[in-house]
Amino acid sequence: MAREPDAPPEDKESEAEAKADGETASDSESRVEAVTLPTSVDDTPEVLNRALSNLSSRWKNWWVRGILTLAMIAFFFIIIYLGPMVLMMIVMCVQIKCFHEIITIGYNVYHSYDLPWFRTLSWYFLLCVNYFFYGETVTDYFFTLVQREEPLRILSKYHRFISFTLYLTGFCMFVLSLVKKHYRLQFYMFGWTHVTLLIVVTQSHLVIHNLFEGMIWFIVPISCVICNDIMAYMFGFFFGRTPLIKLSPKKTWEGFIGGCFATVVFGLLLSYVMSGYRCFVCPVEYNNDTNSFTVDCEPSDLFRLQEYNIPGVIQSVIGWKTVRMYPFQIHSIALSTFASLIGPFGGFFASGFKRAFKIKDFANTIPGHGGIMDRFDCQYLMATFVNVYIASFIRGPNPSKLVQQFLTLRPDQQLHIFNMLKSHLTDKGMLTAATEDE
């Protein structure tokens, strides 16, 4: 029998070091698998349990999910009515809860190793990242207020340096917490925390940015994801026969296709209704005089009815030559299509994550639905798409922000820009025309 070649000296040394530390890759995996995570429990309210006791488990689950879905939709309407500030606070609360659910899974997996400072450092990094992102938001959207208050102005000026210093402190704390025999696991959890921050905190920051562009950019995408989730479940429940993906055995092609069609129609109708109200289409801005948010403006062309010619093939079917609709409705088709075709992959990703750790749900916060993260796994992916979509196809230069930046310059710099602008407008003939009109 042929003798296998000896391992290279450097490999032997690394293996010896790993054994000396008492940690090998196979040991880590076997120990992780040995940990038993908490199983999901039935926390359905007793009132519903008694009312639905005569139904089969399939129909009982259907009614529980349906009733609590309606309750969540009602809560969604209430927070929309309460305004942008409440919406931002809810986004912050959802972010913290989602972070807690994911970090708790990691803590339960590695709890037996008694890793030092894991939870403390995880929450500290959450604080650091939120300080950075929300500080950037305050500087960007509350510029006048920041410049008016001296402490805020100083914090704004050195914001990124302070944020980096805070993160560096946490990084050094992590290095100091490293314990022999647990190096590999501690680095696992360091990566776990940072990936969670990337998925949860970064996306929630984008949600708030979308909100500032106008509440319609917040409500329509979220509503499309909700609609797709509901309609895919309904079509799958009543007509589902063909499995869609192994990660989610209950998902079916019938539910996927039916949810897609229903979501596109829903997105068109919702966009038509909301485009007629200034409180939904106007950007959310901070009023320094009243110290409150305002959503009043002259709607852009995106939210004004226009007439479109219908292609000849469709004319022969419906008998219409033209149709009046808001340009935003065309954009809503892109949003709803993404919500129904790509958005579910956020759910599939979450399903794969849960299967990897042999759990049914992230938590038991909402009976019949699981944890908060179970409800927002698709929303985070949608938030990123909306933010990229706005930046690529919608947003243009913001005159108010340019003026704000202009006012922070030194007088000689302001005068230089003024002369350059005057010369530019004179060359184009615009300044002379304005003078003649006066």
In three-state form (DSSP H/G/I as H, E/B as E, the rest C), the secondary structure along 135-197 is HHHHHHHCHHHHHHCHHHHHHHHCHHHHHHHHHHHHHHHHHHHCCCCCHHHHHHHHHHHHHHH
Comparing 107-121, 151-165, 315-329, the range with the smallest average pLDDT is 107-121
| pLDDT band at 356; cut points 50, 70, 90 | confident
Q: Which residues pair with 285 in a beta bridge?
A: 294
What pLDDT sits at residue 333?
Answer: 95
CA distance 213 to 194: 28
CA distance 241 to 65: 21
* Sign of the four-CA dihedral 52, 57, 60, 61: positive
CB-based burial label for 263 (10 Å; 0-12, 13-18, 19+): buried
What pLDDT sits at residue 13?
Answer: 46
**298: pLDDT strictly greater than 70:** yes
In the chain, the N- to C-terminal Cα span, in Å, equals 102
**39: pLDDT strictly greater than 80:** no
| pLDDT band at 44; cut points 50, 70, 90 | low
| pLDDT band at 43; cut points 50, 70, 90 | low
What pLDDT sits at residue 255?
Answer: 92
* Token pair recorded at residue 269: 């109708």
Q: Calculate what percentage of the chain has a pLDDT beyond 70.
A: 85
| pLDDT band at 111; cut points 50, 70, 90 | low
More confident residue, 204 or 370: 204
CA 163 remoteness from chain centre:
22
What pLDDT sits at residue 325?
Answer: 93
For tokens 């959890």, the residue is 189
**19: pLDDT strictly greater than 60:** no
Q: Long-range CB contacts (< 8 A, 24+ apart) of 129-132?
A: 129/167, 129/197, 129/201, 129/202, 130/92, 130/95, 130/201, 131/162, 131/163, 131/166, 132/159, 132/160, 132/163, 132/167
Side-chain-side CA neighbours of residue 242 (13 Å): 7
DSSP 199: I
Q: What is the pLDDT of residues 185-200, one digit of tens each?
A: 889 889 999 999 998 9
Among 39, 42, 44, which Cα is nearest to 64's? 44
**220: pLDDT strictly greater than 50:** yes
More confident residue, 355 or 111: 355
More confident residue, 323 or 438: 323
| pLDDT band at 388; cut points 50, 70, 90 | very high
